[in-house]
A and B are shown apart, each in its own frame.
Chain A
């Protein structure tokens, strides 16, 4: 149980284009999902907290107009990197929590490697 998927697993795009990353909880409903960014050989940095049906809460320093987060259902959250630039290249990981059981544990997706040329 508690499986989280991400799609795509990797993506290469041209500078200036937008990229959408999906995060799905496969066997549970997640009222809260989290988006992290990880640079090579570094730890995870929380970008935003996404609650189903409401606006995401962004961490300080994260541009909400650049990193658009939508949590339209209890099993799906999306992160759209708008007008991507090479400095946005990174490993993006989502996590999800179940509102019913094990509410304080985050289960992580496999990550999405974004490369912006």
Chain B
């Protein structure tokens, strides 16, 4: 099983700031199979990024993803009030058992 470790667990930031979230894998993950989701309280997760760097339908271009091998990042270039949420990375094919990271909570400072 591939373990994904996200850091930090919590980030306190202000609207307008730039943020980079980290996702580190216990073994190599193909860039094809790494994605990011956003989840707000009481809601189902929403796909943001797939294939490491491709934005899902309707996702604003302030969200971007990058990385390779075991280190991946999600960057939000300029935080909007609606971006404060929990973010999860997921590998969905480098191993037959899909896995999620434990999540990073983005909170308003």
Query: A and B bound?
Result: no
State the B residues within 8 Å of A (CB).
none
State the A residues within 8 Å of B (CB).
none
